[in-house]
Amino acid sequence: MAARTSGLSRTFGLIALACAGLLTFGLYLQHVVGLEPCPMCIVQRYTLVGVMVLGLVGWRLRNATALSVLGLLLALKAGFGAFVAARQSWLQWYPPEAVSCGRDFYGMIESFPLGRAIPMIFRGSGDCSKVDWTFLGGSIANWSFVCFTLFAALGLWLALQAWRQR
């Protein structure tokens, strides 16, 4: 049975590797290019970390039942990320008149005590409806939606394959 589930485990590992690459690219855009992440971007980053952790756990497992459950959890987590990315894409296509997505970094430091400012910093301070970067006509949120949707579909496929092998 372990030989049959090793292919599934490798797929979980590839998902984790893809998440690590996406997170690295996001940090590159933030720290090298200078793009400021918005609160929805931060939520998507945390969700990517969650998908990556599930992928790493699945990479090490060989039990078909556990892989099936893990695939479902990965699909749910990635589905949440797709939902947040879809919402941000919608905000970018139809921006509200008054943006209330986040505050300016320096404004937070000057206006609030450090104990309140630090959690705000981790929520992001960019504008969720602003498109700062595009690739092939898609914004970061658009591409994030595509990736999360792919991860969710792979999670469901992995769960089904593992369920059949148990």
- The answer as to whether 107 is a domain residue is yes
3-state SS class at 102: coil
pTM: 0.74
The domain containing residue 147 runs over which residues?
2-124+136-165
pLDDT at site 105: 46
Long-range pairs for 5-8 at CB < 8 Å and ≥24 separation? 5/61, 5/62, 5/63, 5/64, 5/67, 5/162, 5/165, 6/62, 8/58, 8/64, 8/67, 8/158, 8/161, 8/162, 8/165
Would residue 71 count as lying in a domain? yes
Residue 73 lies in a domain: yes
pLDDT values of the chain reduced to their tens digit, one per residue, 166 residues: 455 667 788 889 899 999 999 999 888 888 898 887 887 888 888 999 999 999 999 888 888 888 888 999 999 999 999 998 988 888 877 776 655 554 444 455 566 666 665 565 555 556 666 667 667 877 878 889 999 999 999 999 998 888 888 7
d(CA 15, CA 8): 11
- Number of structural domains, the chain? 1
**Residue whose pair of structure tokens reads 């090490």 in the numeric block:** 60
CATH number at residue 80: 1.20.1550.10
The pLDDT assigned to 151 comes to 96
Phi then psi dihedrals of residue 113, to 5 deg = -65, 155
Q: Would residue 131 count as lying in a domain? A: no
**Which residues are 43's β-sheet partners?**
none
